[in-house]
Homo-oligomer: A and B are copies of this chain.
Amino acid sequence: MSDAKSTILKAASELFLEGGTSALSVRAISKRAGVSTIGIYSHFKGKQGILDELYIEGFEKVFSAMDILKSAKGPRETILQGVKGYLEVADKYEAHYRLIFGESDAGYSPSEEARAVSEKAFKMLIDVSSLILPEDTSLAKKQHIALEIWAFVHGYVSLKHHAISTLISPEEWNTLALNALSTHIDAIIAKHA
């Protein structure tokens, strides 16, 4: 990546972490990066291009959180560790997470390249969650189980972000999510044994 390109991306990432999408105007990025506004369009495909990079950046963080396939503690604990990592990434990079799930910019929709990265992440999730299934399980079934786990974890993260109800303390959320997932994974194991 060229110098100017990485400088722009760094500035955008900083602004993004500081104030989310609302702080991410083309003029603000170019000002902080020390380039002209037109630079955003020559080095990236406008704001869409910037958001794509941040989208991919976000998924790569999720990637690394789930990259714990080779655990000695057995499939159940490996998955729960992956869930824990996911929850932590979602907390630490909340802005990225919101962008990925469309919670921050109505106009944005990921490019083909960005979509490809997200599918790669889903495939990794399938690998991890397949650990609790018999080896001869069909791919469709594996996808369904992976989706099941993902939906559950993401549901907790999403509800937490939007804080519809303030009845539950922020610290408790991740514990509740882990307990619920633990119960559900046991149910899946029992069902498909």
B-contacting residues of A (Cβ < 8 Å)?
20-22, 98, 100-107, 115, 118-119, 121-122, 143-144, 147-148, 150-156, 158-159, 161-162, 164-165, 167-168, 176-177, 180, 183-184, 186-188, 191
On chain B, the residues within 8 Å of A186 by CB distance are 187
This chain: how many copies in the complex? 2
Say yes or no: A106 contacts B155, CB within 8 Å: no
22 contacts across the A-B interface (CB closer than 8 A): A20-B106, A101-B103, A102-B161, A105-B106, A106-B106, A118-B165, A119-B164, A122-B167, A147-B168, A151-B152, A151-B155, A151-B158, A151-B177, A152-B155, A154-B155, A183-B184, A183-B187, A183-B188, A183-B191, A184-B184, A186-B187, A187-B187
CB contacts (< 8 Å) of A105 on chain B: these are 106
The 10 A-B residue pairs with the shortest CB-CB distance, nearest first, are A155-B155, A151-B155, A187-B187, A151-B156, A122-B165, A154-B155, A148-B180, A118-B164, A102-B103, A104-B106
Since A100-B162, A148-B176 are in contact, a sample of 6 more A-B pairs with Cβ atoms closer than 8 Å, ordered by chain A residue number, is: A103-B106, A119-B165, A148-B180, A153-B155, A183-B184, A183-B188
How far, in Å, is A174 (CB) from chain B's closest CB?
A: 12
Q: Is the CB of B167 within 8 A of A143?
A: yes
The answer, among B21, B144, B150, B159, for a CB contact under 8 Å with A147, is: B159
Are A143 and B168 neighbours in the complex by a CB distance under 8 Å?
yes
Max chain B C-beta neighbours (<10 A), residue from A100, A119, A162, A191: A162
Query: Which of B20, B148, B154, B187 is within 8 Å of A158, CB to CB?
Result: B154
CA distance A121 to B167 in the complex (A): 13
Residues on the B chain within 8 Å of A159, using CB: 147, 150-151, 154
CA distance in complex: A151, B157 (Å) = 8
Chain B residues closer than 8 Å to A100, beta-carbon distance? 162
